[in-house]
Homo-oligomer: A and B are copies of this chain.
Amino acid sequence: MDSHDNKQDGKYSKGLEGIIIGESKKSYIDGERGYLAYSGISIEELAEKSNYEEVCFLLLHDRLPLKDELENFKSELYSYREVPDLTYEIIERTAKYPVHPMTVLRLAVDTLPVYDEETEINTEEANYRKALKLISRIHTITAAIGRALRGEKPIRPKPDLSCAANWLWMHSGKIPSQEEERIFDIVLVIHAEHEINASTFSARVVISSLTDIYSAVSAAIGSLKGSLHGGANEQVMRMLIEEIGTETEIEKFVEKKLKNKEKIPGFGHRVYKNYDPRAAIFKRLAEQIAKKDERVGRWIEIGNKIEKIMIEKLKEKRIYPNVDFYSGIVMYYLGIDIPMFTPIFATGRIIGWVSHILEQLKDNRIYRPRIIYSGEKERKYIPIEMRR
């Protein structure tokens, strides 16, 4: 097969836009309607009535668990929370360097396969266990990184707390209130899964060579770090705190941005042409929080103003706030520092990644596309003395 001999006659879609890579039972997005469902159940219903553990089961098994199934699932999941000593040590030794915490997260996660006696066993059962281990241990790792960034020692997990409560415990050293636990649980649920975005696609591409699950999750973490993927929620908070601050003339601020063709972080989405359902949930949550936190109230006020101006000025473009606009506000309220926002994204999204990886393995074919050779052909090797 010649590099130029292919089904598409030399045409291609940059960034694989519009190209379908296969089938999935994990999530369904209707961008026109502003609708997102995990395994067929809308994110609104899940955020209101479910919890992260149940969503993990749902995404792994494509159905809700029975009562005893959920209990067994939780016991197994919670039993995997401890991480090797080397993992803690690596975090402590590297988090002080001026790199993004996602780099520390990837390095720390990459210590896990060394100590997992099932790393090289690729049966369905072993892979499922590795998926659960990864969910639990990424939680332990991100909490430890959050502390290390402040120069604090890690706090070991508790086996009897929910995922949300355990994370807040490991991060702050305080057992959270029921309200805090509930808010962080919603943060995890909303970040859990979002179809075949760049990090999930990375995970599927990597696992398709039949490497181990750790390698695929590590690739997803590396992808999520990129400024075109995770990271927008950090920019939102920096804009609110550093750029806008006590500024009251929001309209002028937005107009100046638009005039200079600068992007306003937290607005617009390639898929959603209506209100991002995740943004709507976070907004309602932030509005509740605002009743007792003045700063949050002020940020919502700013958000509403920007939203109004954007919708008026860019009517045809249908630009609405996306998940990143209000999520940062909610995380900040929970005492999570801005550099930790993308690691928190990963802490929720780990379930989406491992679910897609296990799904890929069930009906795998290695991803091996083609690329058109656009360089000079049939060049001769010219000895170095004769080159000009």
CB < 8 Å: which of B11, B46, B196 contacts A381?
Answer: B46
CA distance A345 to B341 in the complex (A): 37
19 extra interchain contacts, Cβ-Cβ under 8 A, other than A107-B114, A201-B367, A209-B228? A1-B31, A19-B19, A22-B372, A23-B374, A24-B371, A41-B380, A41-B381, A50-B381, A66-B384, A67-B385, A70-B384, A94-B114, A198-B205, A198-B366, A208-B226, A208-B228, A209-B226, A210-B226, A210-B227
Which A197-226 residues sit within 8 Å CB-CB of chain B?
197-199, 201-202, 205-212, 214-216, 218-219, 221-226
Quick one: CB contact mask for A249-291 with B, threshold 8 Å, 1 for yes?
Answer: 0000000000000000000001101000000000000000000
A-B contact pairs, 6 of them (CB 8 A): A17-B369, A25-B373, A39-B376, A65-B387, A107-B110, A216-B222
Which residue, A2, A39, A207, has most C-beta atoms of chain B within 10 A?
A: A2
Q: Answer whether residue A180 sits at the interface, using C-beta atoms and an 8 A cutoff.
A: no
Q: Answer whether residue A292 sits at the interface, using C-beta atoms and an 8 A cutoff.
A: no
Q: Answer whether residue A365 sits at the interface, using C-beta atoms and an 8 A cutoff.
A: yes
Question: How big is chain A's contact interface, by range?
Answer: 35 or more
Query: In angstroms, how far is the closest chain B Cβ from the Cβ of A296?
Result: 28
A225 touches B196 (CB 8 A): no
CA distance A110 to B3 in the complex (A): 33
Q: Answer whether residue A37 sits at the interface, using C-beta atoms and an 8 A cutoff.
A: yes
A224 touches B198 (CB 8 A): no
Which residue, A16, A227, A270, A371, has most C-beta atoms of chain B within 10 A?
A: A371
CB < 8 Å: which of B103, B198, B371 contacts A22?
Answer: B371
Q: Answer whether residue A368 sits at the interface, using C-beta atoms and an 8 A cutoff.
A: yes
Given known A-B contacts A19-B8, A196-B370, A64 and B222 have beta carbons under 8 A apart: no
A206 touches B202 (CB 8 A): yes
B371 touches A270 (CB 8 A): no
Given known A-B contacts A380-B45, A381-B49, A387-B67, A120 and B100 have beta carbons under 8 A apart: yes
CA distance A229 to B207 in the complex (A): 11
Q: Answer whether residue A14 sits at the interface, using C-beta atoms and an 8 A cutoff.
A: yes
Q: Answer whether residue A315 sits at the interface, using C-beta atoms and an 8 A cutoff.
A: no
CB < 8 Å: which of B99, B206, B273, B365 contacts A114?
Answer: B99
Minimum CB distance partner of A381 in chain B? B45
Quick one: CB contact mask for A12-55 with B, threshold 8 Å, 1 for yes?
Answer: 11111111111111111111100001011100011001100010
Query: In angstroms, how far is the closest chain B Cβ from the Cβ of A387?
Result: 5
Minimum CB distance partner of A229 in chain B? B209
This protein's copies in its complex: 2
Q: Which residues of A does B touch, CB under 8 Å?
A: 1-3, 6-8, 10-32, 37, 39-41, 45-46, 49-50, 54, 62, 64-67, 70, 86, 90, 93-94, 97-100, 103-104, 106-107, 110-111, 113-115, 117, 119-120, 195-199, 201-202, 205-212, 214-216, 218-219, 221-229, 270-271, 273, 365-385, 387-388
Collect the chain B residues with CB atoms within 8 Å of residue A62's CB.
375
B64 touches A387 (CB 8 A): yes
CB < 8 Å: which of B114, B117, B228 contacts A366?
Answer: B228
Collect the chain B residues with CB atoms within 8 Å of residue A372's CB.
20, 22-24
Given known A-B contacts A40-B375, A103-B212, A209-B224, A22 and B29 have beta carbons under 8 A apart: no
